[in-house]
Every structure is written in C-alpha cells, then in structure tokens.
Amino acid sequence: MTDPQPAARYRFGVFEADSATGELRRKGMRVKLHAQPFQVLFLLLERPGEMLTREEICRELWPEGTFVDYEHGVNSAVNRLREALGDKASNPKFVETLARRGYRFLAPVERISPEPAEAVQVATTSALLVAPITDELPAVTVERSSGVLGRLLAAPEDLPKSSHATAHTLFLLLQAMYLSFYIGALANLPEINELVSPLRLAAQTFTVLILTAALLIPVRIFLSCAVLFRAPRLGEVFGKLWWFLLPLDALWSLSPFLLLHHINYGLALACTTILIYSPFAQRSLILMGAGRRLSST
C-alpha cells in the first residue's frame, strides 16, 4: 500500500499557501480566505503561467448536478482571492484574467518540500502559543502610483499595527472634521466673502470655495457610510478616489485662514501645516484597517 501524497505547500512573493491546513499566510501572518477562493488559488498554483479555464474551476468547486449561478460564483471566488492577495484585475501581479476564457497565475511559484512530522508538530505548537487570536481579514489595499509621490507613499507593511476600532474611529473623525469645514464655510459666506475680497481673483476664489464645499460634502458622507458599513472593495475604491481628493484636501488645508476674523495668522498657518498631512493620514488609516470587513467564519 503506497503512502498518501503529502499535502502541497507553495510560496509566491511574500505569501505561502498550505493545502493541508487550508491556510494562506503573508509574511507568516494568516490571511483569512474562504474555502472556494482558496481552492481557486491552489488550482492556479498547481499550473503557474498556464490558463485555468472557468469550466475547470466550476468542475472543482461544484459537483456535477449542483444548481448554482456558476458565472457569479467564479467571479465572486476570484474577487475574494484578489482581495486577500491585494491584487487588482486592471493591473494584476498574481491573477490575470483572460477575457471570456479563464485565469492565469503570473508570479513565480515555489513548491515547498514537506517538513519532518516532528518539526511540523513543534512549529505548530509554538505558533499556537505565540500567535495573536484575530478574526479580521487583512487590511484593504490602496492603489499606488509609480511616480515620485507613489514611491514615497506608505505600503501596508510600512505602517504600525493598529486595532480596527482605532483606525475606524480616527478615519470617521477626519471625515467629520472635513464636513465641519465645508458646512461652516457655507454657513458663513458673507464673512468669507469679506475676507477674500482683497484678493486679485476674489470672485473666482469665492466660487471655487462654494463649488468644492458643495461637491465634497456628499463625498465625505459616502466615505463615512462606506467605513461604517464596511463596504466590500473599499480599499480599491478609496485608492482611486484618493488621487482625486488629494488636491482638494490640499486646497482645503488653507481653511484655517477663513477664520482670520477669530484667530491670528500664526495659528492659521500652524493649523494649515497640520492639515496638509490629513489626506495621507486617511490613506494610512484605510491601509491599517479602517474599512476592514470582519468575519466569524
């Protein structure tokens, strides 16, 4: 009688996948991934660089005679896998879509030799003793640019660990701060008009202030609701929206100067300096888990 084939383990980039435990790990930390997306991952890892058809995925995920929406099911499994890997369909590092045909795994894959049983037992026991217990999914990712600014922006591994509640609360407080700026400005238009009237482009400045405030109020409400209800794919949406918000947030970092009837120039400048960091703080909080979805499974 032949021995059963040892469970497969694969390494790709900073990730490892183990079929025996059904676990995906990133730099040693477990990434929660449901069974079907994990099955899709292993199908791809067994054939790196080759096309895996949608029909092959369906046959593996659902036994013959199962009545499901296969198209939606495959799309959902692949999307969840990409979310766990921090991958994007539009610019894939791992899972490439081959239109109307299937998928292909792009990254180099290394099959890890099985460890002796005793070593596995010791490593597993040690991990159980020291590993933190968590039911959170990995932090959502935000799109990075290849330009100078993109290289300066923090990646998830560059940021400190933080609880979901802390990142969630701080992000919502920043949205409330911006909302107070916009609503306060619109509520005090006569006073602000008097402040900007000496400027060379006073009329244009006043118009820009009104339009941007009116535009950004629904944007801030949208972000607040998305984080409160932990909207799926929030990281990807925020990553695209962030580049649009960055120049507007930089413009509104000057909002303390709208209070010159109440504060002096020095305090307004100090507040502006602090506010310049706010768009980057929002991005960091999203990466640290402000919009993270929790799961009990």
| Last residue in a domain, options 84, 111, 138 | 111
User: pLDDT, tens digit, for every residue of 158-179?
Assistant: 778 778 788 889 999 999 999 9
Query: Does residue 26 lie in a domain region?
Result: yes
Q: State how many domains the chain has.
A: 2
pLDDT band per the 50, 70, 90 thresholds, residue 276? very high
Non-local CB neighbours of 18 within 8 Å, separated by 6+ positions: 7, 8, 9, 25
Predicted confidence at residue 288, as pLDDT, reads 82
- Give the mean pLDDT of 22-27: 89
Do residues 201 and 98 share a domain? no
**SS (HEC) of 62-77:** CCCCCCCCHHHHHHHH
Q: Where are the beta strands (DSSP E) in the chain?
A: 9-12, 15-18, 23-26, 29-31, 51-53, 95-98, 102-105, 110-111
Do residues 193 and 101 share a domain? no
Query: Does residue 136 lie in a domain region?
Result: no
Predicted confidence at residue 113, as pLDDT, reads 72
Instruction: Please state, in angstroms and rounded to a whole number, the distance separating the CA atoms of residues 105 and 95.
Output: 5
Q: What is the overall mean pLDDT for the chain?
A: 81
- Give the mean pLDDT of 115-138: 45
Residue 124 vs residue 220, higher pLDDT: 220
Query: Does residue 124 lie in a domain region?
Result: no
Do residues 106 and 159 share a domain? no
Do residues 58 and 104 share a domain? yes
Query: Does residue 277 lie in a domain region?
Result: yes
Q: Is the pLDDT reported for residue 122 higher than 50? A: no
Predicted confidence at residue 157, as pLDDT, reads 66
Residue 239 vs residue 223, higher pLDDT: 223
Query: Does residue 160 lie in a domain region?
Result: yes
Instruction: Please state, in angstroms and rounded to a whole number, the distance separating the CA atoms of residues 14 and 8.
Output: 17
Do residues 104 and 152 share a domain? no
Do residues 107 and 152 share a domain? no
Q: Is the pLDDT reported for residue 148 higher than 90? A: no
- Give the mean pLDDT of 276-297: 74
**How far is CA 79 from its chain centroid?**
13
- Where residue 70 sits, what CATH number does that domain have? 1.10.10.10
Residue 78: CA count within 13 A, CB half-sphere: 25
- Give the mean pLDDT of 190-219: 92
pLDDT band per the 50, 70, 90 thresholds, residue 219? very high
Domain enclosing residue 249, as ranges: 148-287
Q: Is the pLDDT reported for residue 133 higher than 60? A: no
Query: Does residue 142 lie in a domain region?
Result: no
User: pLDDT, tens digit, for every residue of 57-115?
Assistant: 888 887 765 555 677 788 888 999 999 999 998 889 999 999 888 999 999 999 887 65
Query: Does residue 294 lie in a domain region?
Result: no
- Give the mean pLDDT of 253-280: 90
Query: Does residue 83 lie in a domain region?
Result: yes
Q: Is the pLDDT reported for residue 127 higher than 90? A: no
Do residues 164 and 93 share a domain? no
Per-residue b or e along 56-90, where b marks 16 or more CB atoms closer than 10 Å to that residue's CB: ebbeebeeeeeeeebeebbeebbbbbbbbbbbbee
Non-local CB neighbours of 148 within 8 Å, separated by 6+ positions: none
Instruction: Please state, in angstroms and rounded to a whole number, the distance separating the CA atoms of residues 95 and 37.
Output: 12
Is pTM, for the whole model, over 0.75?
no
Closest CA to 252 of 225, 229, 283, 274: 274
Predicted confidence at residue 27, as pLDDT, reads 86
Do residues 72 and 166 share a domain? no
| Last residue in a domain, options 111, 136, 165 | 111
Predicted confidence at residue 159, as pLDDT, reads 77
Do residues 242 and 163 share a domain? yes
Predicted confidence at residue 297, as pLDDT, reads 34
Do residues 153 and 30 share a domain? no
Do residues 191 and 263 share a domain? yes
| Last residue in a domain, options 111, 136, 169 | 111
Do residues 275 and 171 share a domain? yes
